[in-house]
Structure 1
Amino acid sequence: MAKKRAQESDEGKLKKKIATKTADHGNPEGDAALRSLKKRLKREQRKRRALVQRKKRAAGSKAAASASA
């Protein structure tokens, strides 16, 4: 059984949390919780971009191998 993905991505949830925290906050730079949320968001974005890049490279090498054979 594969894990069921959430309806909303982690990235979307984090963006919403960050938006609500910054909206009602006077000094967003001094808030450690907000900073950690932003770090988590950046980590998720890096993971997603790395996955896309990995898939793109894998597909490219397969296409090149089949074309030369």
Structure 2
Amino acid sequence: FDGPERSDASASANVTAIYSGGEGEHRADKVLIEELRFFRQASEAAAVLLVTNDNALAGEAARLGARALAPTDLIPFLG
């Protein structure tokens, strides 16, 4: 999410909300792509899901080996 300061918040054992910090357009998108690259470098086998309705962001996530989910598809992961 866009936010005035960079921070992470655990929503559940399997879900982390990331607040981007910084200024400018698409700052949250840039942070998400950085996080996806980090997870891919740490482990190519780990399942990485990105929750978004943004088709361009979902496409970039797929190129980095992550799976994009619509927000409505997140509900089972929160249980």
Give the TM-score band, short-chain normalised: 0.3 to 0.5
Report which of the two has the higher share of strand: 2
Larger Rg: 1
The answer to which structure, 1 or 2, has the higher relative contact order (CA under 8 A, 6+ apart) is 1
TM-score by length of 1: 0.37
Calculate the TM-score normalised by the size of structure 2: 0.33
